């Protein structure tokens, strides 16, 4: 932790923030102009339905993501002449600023993008499966399970390299436990949510116990990790996430079509030819996998998995293969933007990105809660 007191953001930073928020709002309202425009795509062996609107939205979000990535390379604590960082990252890799750009900023930006993709995808799958916009891996305890194991590893002073694996194990074991406890001749969304909230509370108290039990010097690192931070993200973190996304995305794509049937009710899905419990287990595994790997790398970051899928659903409609990708890209955009804000808002003091996601996500959570309760 740095010793400087937190300073107020400079007028320039504030102005940039306000302008970017307005720009995002304008962009979102612009999407309302786009009508859903389904197009059939058919070749000899392949046929699918593509919503051109979702394709356009994906393209727009990806373009924004590229711009923001370049911005993430450019700005930071260490002064680098304009555009030098970009050239160092892409073609002049042995340049003067190679360490700052290629070992600090670039992996951090890429990790933020990939982790955001994972968290948002996980949230989209959970929310659709349980038909509840208030559900996400951080609400039902998956993230807390990962955090408990990771805090334990940090507190006993074990090798830090174990941390991602411990978090992953914690997430999967928690998902399994919730599933088993909620199982009663099948799984219903509400029971799973309630069991998840209970488990979440239990695990959170476990973390508190560890924090009190172990000496303060040892749990300090755990406390920082727990807030969710991209500080010190490395290429190996980015690789872990890349491999996970490569493994999880194809099954997620296949499962989305079945998930869309489960949305219509278990009896309906079953009569349409689905083995509902098997598919549901698979979806929970994939969704937990996405959450677990993100938590393992950057800590139990809250609200990304809750907020992003909800916004995308409002703009682009119910989950399809296309909107799942869109959700991932918007998640990447969101987490990267939050991390840049966290670095810049009180520069030179940097905040953990979790503080920003929580500051934006908390009010949004209340907004969904109010909307959800007023819905007929």
Partner 1 sequence: MPLEIRPQTMDLKTSDLYLGYGSSPVIDGLNFVVPAGKITAIIGANGSGKSTLLRGLSRVLKPTSGSVLLNGRDIHEQSTKAVARQVGLLPQGPTAPSGLTVMDLVRRGRYPHQRIFDQWSSEDETSVRKALALTKLSDSAGVLVDHLSGGQRQRAWIAMALAQDAHLMLLDEPTTYLDIAHQVEILELLKKLNIEEARTVVMVLHDINQGSRYADHVVAMLNGDVFIQGAPDEVVTASMMEKVFGLKAVVIADPATGTPLCVPDAPENA
Binding region for partner 1 (CB under 8 A): 36, 40-42, 45-49, 128, 131, 185, 254, 257-258, 260-261, 263-268, 270-275, 313, 317-318, 375
Q: In the structure, how many helices (H) and strands (E) does the chain have?
A: 15, 2
Which one, 190 or 271, has the nearer CB to partner 1?
Answer: 271
CB of 297 to partner 1, least distance (A): 30
Which one, 165 or 183, has the nearer CB to partner 1?
Answer: 183
CB of 57 to partner 1, least distance (A): 15
Which one, 18 or 28, has the nearer CB to partner 1?
Answer: 28
CB of 362 to partner 1, least distance (A): 24
CB of 260 to partner 1, least distance (A): 6
At 133 the three-state DSSP class reads: coil
Instruction: Output Rg (C-alpha) for the chain, integer angstroms.
Output: 21
Beta bridge partners of 49: 40
Which one, 224 or 260, has the nearer CB to partner 1?
Answer: 260
Distance CA 169, CA 174 (A): 8
CB of 269 to partner 1, least distance (A): 9
Q: Which residues contact 259 (CB under 8 A, 6 or more apart)?
A: 125, 128, 129, 279, 283, 319
Q: Which residues contact 38 (CB under 8 A, 6 or more apart)?
A: 49, 50, 51, 52
| Tokens found for residue 115 | 């982790």
The number of beta carbons lying within 10 Å of the beta carbon of residue 204 is 14
The number of beta carbons lying within 10 Å of the beta carbon of residue 63 is 10
Which one, 226 or 320, has the nearer CB to partner 1?
Answer: 320
Which one, 129 or 172, has the nearer CB to partner 1?
Answer: 129
CB of 34 to partner 1, least distance (A): 14
Quote the DSSP letter at residue 160.
G
CA 354 vs. chain centroid, Å, equals 11
């Amino acid at each position: 932790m740095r010793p400087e007191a937190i300073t107020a953001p400079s007028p320039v930073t504030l102005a940039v923030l306000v302008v970017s928020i307005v720009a995002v709002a304008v962009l979102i309202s612009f999407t309302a102009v786009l009508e859903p425009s389904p197009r059939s795509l058919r070749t000899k062996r392949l046929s699918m339905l593509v919503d051109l609107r979702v394709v356009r939205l994906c393209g727009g979000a990806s373009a924004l993501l590229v711009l923001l990535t370049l911005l993430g390379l450019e700005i930071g604590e260490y002064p680098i002449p304009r555009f030098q960082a970009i050239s160092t990252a892409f073609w002049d890799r042995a340049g003067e600023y190679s360490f700052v750009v290629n070992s600090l900023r670039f992996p951090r930006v890429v990790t933020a993008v990939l982790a955001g993709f994972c968290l948002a995808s996980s949230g989209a799958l959970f929310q659709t499966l349980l038909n509840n916009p208030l559900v996400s891996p951080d609400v039902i305890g998956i993230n807390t399970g990962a955090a408990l194991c990771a805090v334990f590893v940090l507190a006993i002073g074990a090798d830090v390299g174990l941390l991602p694996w411990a978090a992953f194990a914690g997430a999967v074991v928690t998902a399994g436990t919730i599933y088993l406890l909620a199982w009663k001749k099948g799984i219903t969304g509400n029971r799973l949510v309630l069991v998840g909230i209970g488990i979440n509370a239990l695990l959170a108290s476990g973390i508190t116990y560890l924090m009190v039990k172990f000496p303060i010097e040892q749990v300090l690192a755990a406390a920082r990790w727990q807030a969710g931070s991209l500080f010190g993200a490395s290429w190996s973190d980015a690789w872990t996430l890349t491999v996970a996304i490569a493994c999880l995305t194809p099954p997620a794509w296949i499962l989305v079509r079945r998930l869309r049937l489960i949305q219509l009710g278990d009896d309906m899905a079953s009569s349409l030819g689905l083995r509902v419990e098997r598919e549901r287990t698979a979806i929970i595994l994939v969704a937990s996998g996405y959450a677990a790997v993100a938590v393992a790398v950057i800590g139990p970051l809250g609200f990304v998995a809750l907020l992003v899928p909800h916004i995308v659903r409002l703009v682009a409609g119910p989950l399809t293969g296309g909107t799942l990708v869109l959700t991932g890209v918007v998640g990447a955009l969101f987490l990267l933007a939050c991390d840049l804000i966290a670095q810049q808002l009180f520069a030179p003091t940097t905040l953990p990105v979790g503080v920003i996601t929580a500051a934006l996500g908390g009010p949004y959570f209340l907004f969904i809660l109010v909307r959800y309760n007023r819905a007929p």
